[in-house]
Protein backbone atom coordinates (compact mmCIF):
# COMPACT_ATOMS: atom_id res chain seq x y z
CA UNK A 1 0.00 0.00 0.00
CA UNK A 2 1.54 3.36 -0.96
CA UNK A 3 2.40 5.77 1.83
CA UNK A 4 0.88 9.26 1.73
CA UNK A 5 3.09 11.94 0.29
CA UNK A 6 4.77 14.41 2.59
CA UNK A 7 2.79 17.29 1.08
CA UNK A 8 -0.54 15.55 1.74
CA UNK A 9 0.52 14.81 5.32
CA UNK A 10 1.69 18.43 5.70
CA UNK A 11 -1.60 19.82 4.34
CA UNK A 12 -3.58 17.66 6.77
CA UNK A 13 -1.39 18.77 9.68
CA UNK A 14 -1.65 22.46 8.77
CA UNK A 15 -5.43 22.21 8.36
CA UNK A 16 -5.78 20.41 11.69
CA UNK A 17 -3.70 23.10 13.43
CA UNK A 18 -5.68 25.89 11.79
CA UNK A 19 -8.89 24.13 12.86
CA UNK A 20 -7.76 24.16 16.50
CA UNK A 21 -6.72 27.81 16.37
CA UNK A 22 -10.07 28.92 14.89
CA UNK A 23 -12.18 26.64 17.07
CA UNK A 24 -10.70 27.67 20.42
CA UNK A 25 -11.44 31.36 19.88
CA UNK A 26 -15.02 31.21 21.29
CA UNK A 27 -14.06 29.23 24.43
CA UNK A 28 -11.16 31.60 25.11
CA UNK A 29 -13.46 34.58 24.54
CA UNK A 30 -15.99 33.11 27.00
CA UNK A 31 -13.33 32.64 29.69
CA UNK A 32 -12.06 36.19 29.12
CA UNK A 33 -15.65 37.47 29.27
CA UNK A 34 -16.45 35.63 32.50
CA UNK A 35 -13.25 36.59 34.31
CA UNK A 36 -13.37 40.14 32.97
CA UNK A 37 -17.01 40.53 34.00
CA UNK A 38 -16.26 39.27 37.48
CA UNK A 39 -13.37 41.69 37.84
CA UNK A 40 -14.50 44.73 35.87
CA UNK A 41 -18.30 44.63 35.61
CA UNK A 42 -18.99 44.30 39.30
CA UNK A 43 -19.49 40.55 39.09
CA UNK A 44 -22.41 40.87 36.65
CA UNK A 45 -22.03 38.30 33.88
CA UNK A 46 -25.62 38.33 32.58
CA UNK A 47 -28.50 40.78 32.31
CA UNK A 48 -30.52 38.89 34.93
CA UNK A 49 -27.79 39.37 37.56
CA UNK A 50 -27.21 42.40 39.74
CA UNK A 51 -23.81 43.94 40.30
CA UNK A 52 -22.11 42.87 43.48
CA UNK A 53 -19.76 45.86 43.69
CA UNK A 54 -19.16 49.07 41.77
CA UNK A 55 -18.38 48.21 38.14
CA UNK A 56 -15.43 49.71 36.33
CA UNK A 57 -17.04 48.82 32.98
CA UNK A 58 -20.83 48.43 32.79
CA UNK A 59 -22.45 45.15 31.71
CA UNK A 60 -21.88 43.70 29.17
CA UNK A 61 -18.11 43.70 29.24
CA UNK A 62 -18.11 43.19 25.47
CA UNK A 63 -20.84 42.17 23.03
CA UNK A 64 -20.52 38.94 21.10
CA UNK A 65 -22.27 39.35 17.74
CA UNK A 66 -23.97 36.33 16.24
CA UNK A 67 -22.29 36.92 12.89
CA UNK A 68 -18.82 36.52 14.38
CA UNK A 69 -19.64 33.30 16.22
CA UNK A 70 -21.47 31.79 13.26
CA UNK A 71 -18.67 32.86 10.91
CA UNK A 72 -16.04 31.17 13.11
CA UNK A 73 -18.26 28.09 13.32
CA UNK A 74 -18.68 27.99 9.54
CA UNK A 75 -14.91 28.24 9.03
CA UNK A 76 -14.46 25.45 11.56
CA UNK A 77 -16.99 23.27 9.74
CA UNK A 78 -15.18 23.73 6.42
CA UNK A 79 -11.85 22.96 8.06
CA UNK A 80 -13.38 19.91 9.78
CA UNK A 81 -14.49 18.65 6.38
CA UNK A 82 -10.99 19.09 4.98
CA UNK A 83 -9.45 17.37 8.02
CA UNK A 84 -11.89 14.48 7.74
CA UNK A 85 -11.36 14.02 4.00
CA UNK A 86 -7.58 14.35 4.14
CA UNK A 87 -7.13 11.98 7.07
CA UNK A 88 -4.95 8.96 6.49
CA UNK A 89 -4.53 5.72 8.33
CA UNK A 90 -3.05 6.49 11.73
CA UNK A 91 -4.53 9.99 11.98
CA UNK A 92 -7.40 8.98 14.26
CA UNK A 93 -5.68 10.06 17.50
CA UNK A 94 -5.04 13.53 16.10
CA UNK A 95 -8.63 13.76 14.95
CA UNK A 96 -9.98 12.62 18.31
CA UNK A 97 -7.98 15.44 19.86
CA UNK A 98 -10.15 17.90 17.92
CA UNK A 99 -13.36 16.72 19.57
CA UNK A 100 -12.69 18.51 22.88
CA UNK A 101 -12.10 21.98 21.40
CA UNK A 102 -15.18 21.48 19.21
CA UNK A 103 -17.35 20.60 22.22
CA UNK A 104 -15.93 23.61 24.09
CA UNK A 105 -16.83 25.86 21.15
CA UNK A 106 -20.38 24.46 21.12
CA UNK A 107 -20.80 25.13 24.84
CA UNK A 108 -19.33 28.62 24.60
CA UNK A 109 -21.63 29.59 21.72
CA UNK A 110 -24.62 28.46 23.77
CA UNK A 111 -23.17 30.21 26.84
CA UNK A 112 -22.86 33.51 24.99
CA UNK A 113 -26.47 33.15 23.82
CA UNK A 114 -27.51 33.08 27.48
CA UNK A 115 -25.06 35.60 28.95
CA UNK A 116 -24.93 38.27 26.24
CA UNK A 117 -27.97 37.62 24.03
CA UNK A 118 -27.77 39.10 20.55
CA UNK A 119 -31.22 39.52 19.02
CA UNK A 120 -32.68 37.30 21.69
CA UNK A 121 -35.87 35.33 22.09
CA UNK A 122 -37.53 35.32 25.51
CA UNK A 123 -38.33 31.96 27.09
CA UNK A 124 -39.80 32.61 30.52
CA UNK A 125 -37.27 34.63 32.48
CA UNK A 126 -34.43 33.66 30.15
CA UNK A 127 -33.45 35.35 26.91
CA UNK A 128 -31.65 33.21 24.34
CA UNK A 129 -29.55 35.12 21.85
CA UNK A 130 -29.13 33.98 18.28
CA UNK A 131 -25.57 32.89 19.03
CA UNK A 132 -26.94 29.38 19.63
CA UNK A 133 -26.93 28.97 15.84
CA UNK A 134 -23.13 28.71 16.05
CA UNK A 135 -23.55 25.74 18.41
CA UNK A 136 -25.56 23.96 15.71
CA UNK A 137 -22.82 24.61 13.15
CA UNK A 138 -20.20 23.33 15.61
CA UNK A 139 -22.34 20.22 16.02
CA UNK A 140 -22.10 19.68 12.27
CA UNK A 141 -18.32 20.09 12.50
CA UNK A 142 -18.27 17.53 15.31
CA UNK A 143 -20.20 15.06 13.17
CA UNK A 144 -17.76 15.60 10.30
CA UNK A 145 -14.84 14.95 12.63
CA UNK A 146 -16.46 11.77 13.94
CA UNK A 147 -16.94 10.53 10.38
CA UNK A 148 -13.29 11.34 9.70
CA UNK A 149 -12.21 9.40 12.81
CA UNK A 150 -14.30 6.43 11.71
CA UNK A 151 -12.84 6.53 8.18
CA UNK A 152 -9.28 6.86 9.47
CA UNK A 153 -9.82 3.98 11.89
CA UNK A 154 -11.16 1.82 9.07
CA UNK A 155 -8.11 2.68 6.93
CA UNK A 156 -5.81 1.76 9.82
CA UNK A 157 -7.56 -1.58 10.29
CA UNK A 158 -7.34 -2.36 6.59
CA UNK A 159 -3.66 -1.48 6.58
CA UNK A 160 -2.99 -3.68 9.62
CA UNK A 161 -4.93 -6.49 7.95
CA UNK A 162 -2.90 -6.10 4.77
CA UNK A 163 0.36 -6.06 6.73
CA UNK A 164 -0.52 -9.24 8.64
At 2, phi and psi to the nearest 5? -70, 145
At 7, the pLDDT band (50, 70, 90 cuts) reads low
Asked if residue 24 lies in contact with residue 103, where contact means CB atoms within 8 angstroms, the answer is no
Contacts 24+ apart (CB under 8 A), 93-99: 94/16, 95/16, 95/145, 95/148, 95/149, 95/152, 96/149, 98/16, 98/19, 98/20, 98/23, 98/145, 99/142, 99/145, 99/146
Q: How confident is the model at residue 30 (pLDDT cuts 50, 70, 90)?
A: very high
Tens digit of each residue's pLDDT (9 = 90 or more) over 119-145:
766 666 667 788 999 999 999 999 999
Rounded Cα distance between 115 and 137, Å, is 19
The length of the chain in residues reads 164
> If you compute the radius of gyration of the chain from its CA atoms, what whole number of angstroms results?
20
Query: Residue 1 above 50 pLDDT?
Result: no
Confidence label for 93 from pLDDT (cuts 50, 70 and 90)? confident
Beta-carbon contacts of residue 85 (< 8 Å; ≥ 6 apart): 148
Q: Say if CB 12 and CB 155 are below 8 A apart.
A: no
C-alpha pair distances (Å), 99 with each of 24, 92, 131: 11, 11, 20
Number of H helices, E strands in the chain: 6, 2
Please tell me the distance from the alpha carbon of residue 153 to that of residue 96, in angstroms, as a whole number: 11
Which strand (E) or helix (H) includes residue 126? strand 126-128
Whole-model pTM: value is 0.85
57-91 pLDDT, tens per residue? 988 888 889 999 999 999 999 999 999 998 887 77
- Residue 46 pLDDT class (50, 70, 90 cuts): confident
Amino acid sequence: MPQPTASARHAHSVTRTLYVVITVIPPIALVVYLIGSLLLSGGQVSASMDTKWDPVIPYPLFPVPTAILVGLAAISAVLALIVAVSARAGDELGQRGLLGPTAAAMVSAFGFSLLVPDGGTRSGDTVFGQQWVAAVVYTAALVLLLVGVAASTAKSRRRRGADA
